[in-house]
Amino acid sequence: MTDLSQFPITKKWPAAHPGRLQLYSLPTPNGVKVAIMLEEIGLAYEPHLVKFDTNDQLSPEFLSLNPNNKIPAIIDPNGPGGRPLPLFESGAILIYLAEKTGQLLPKDPARRYEAIQWLMFQMGGVGPMFGQVGFFHKFAGKDYDDKRPRDRYLAEARRLLGVLDGHLKGKSWLVGDEYTVADIATFPWINNLIGFYGAGELVGYADFREVDRVLQAFLARPAVQRGLKIPARG
């Protein structure tokens, strides 16, 4: 039987199935990336809910796995060399799982780096900017008369949507006809922007028809529908 006792996080979130990959997460745009990936590749895993309302992410046990106190994080009991691998940062986890299973990263080297390029585009631009727009629109914007902070992020979010919209013309996914980790990283953020944040009208989402076309194809995937709800909120 796999022994994960060396990892303090398992004291707070015991592993009922220590032979499976352990996922510590919350169904936010970053969190569901890994859940969707795991559902797509069919790798056995055990999800654990990290509750922000009780500051689970600041607990010593969680910080022992991710000192940056962000979800998601994983422990793969069957990591490189057969040794357990702890890992955080959603983009790094997606690349790791793709390489571990040989799925959702193109085999062709040039296309592989194209997928990684768009994954980095999400991590460096789409996630941070959409998150700031959502924060000011849903939570903080009404408290401030000065709309310049919101509008700065709004302008950048529209620019990024425009980049995606132009790129997706004539393509099924971000890397042509091949569904990859880049799509799994990007479209949960777009879905969250117009869904949870309710910022579709604010950003003029109706202008970006190519983005919405691919978003709908993404949401139609059964693995995506399952992953968007994992871990189940308690």
Q: Are 152 and 194 within one domain?
A: yes
pLDDT at residue 20 above 70?
A: yes
Residue 117 lies inside a defined structural domain of this protein: yes
Q: Are 114 and 77 within one domain?
A: no
Dihedral angle, C-alpha 150, 183, 48, 233, nearest 10 °: 60
Cα–Cα distance, 69 to 77 (Å, whole number): 21
* pLDDT tens sequence across 204-231: 999 999 999 999 999 999 999 999 999 9
Residue 231 lies inside a defined structural domain of this protein: no
pLDDT, position 141: 67
The CATH number linked to 48 is: 3.40.30.10
Over range 53-72, report the average pLDDT: 97
Q: Are 16 and 98 within one domain?
A: yes
pLDDT, position 165: 98
Residue 200 lies inside a defined structural domain of this protein: yes
Q: Are 150 and 169 within one domain?
A: yes
Residue 230 lies inside a defined structural domain of this protein: no
Q: Are 115 and 100 within one domain?
A: no
Q: Are 117 and 203 within one domain?
A: yes
Q: What is the DSSP letter of 173?
A: B
Residue 234 lies inside a defined structural domain of this protein: no
Helix (H) or strand (E) holding 132: helix 127-134
Over range 46-75, report the average pLDDT: 98
Q: Are 115 and 212 within one domain?
A: yes
Q: Are 40 and 143 within one domain?
A: no
pLDDT, position 88: 98
Range of the domain at 209: 109-221
pLDDT at residue 166 above 80?
A: yes
Ranges assigned E (strand) in the chain? 21-25, 45-49, 73-76, 85-88
Distances (CA, A) of 166 to 32, 115, 131, 208: 26, 17, 22, 9
Q: Which amino acid is at 226?
A: R
Residue 229 lies inside a defined structural domain of this protein: no
Closest by CA to 94, choosing from 63, 129, 60, 119, is 119
* pLDDT tens sequence across 195-210: 999 999 999 999 999 9
The residue from 104, 129, 146 where one domain ends is 104
pLDDT band at 149 (very low <50, low <70, confident <90, very high): confident
pLDDT, position 63: 98
- How is residue 171 written in tokens? 């393509």
Work out how many domains the chain is built from and give that number: 2
pLDDT, position 148: 87
Q: What percent of the chain has pLDDT over 70?
A: 98
pLDDT, position 142: 67
Q: Are 88 and 115 within one domain?
A: no
pTM beyond 0.75: yes
Cα–Cα distance, 80 to 84 (Å, whole number): 8
Residue 16 lies inside a defined structural domain of this protein: yes
- How is residue 27 written in tokens? 């169904």
Q: Are 151 and 48 within one domain?
A: no
Q: Are 215 and 114 within one domain?
A: yes
pLDDT band at 146 (very low <50, low <70, confident <90, very high): confident
pLDDT at residue 1 above 80?
A: no
Over range 143-165, report the average pLDDT: 91
* pLDDT tens sequence across 81-140: 999 999 999 999 999 999 999 999 999 999 999 999 999 999 999 999 999 999 999 987
Strand-pair partners of 178? 175
Over range 128-156, report the average pLDDT: 87
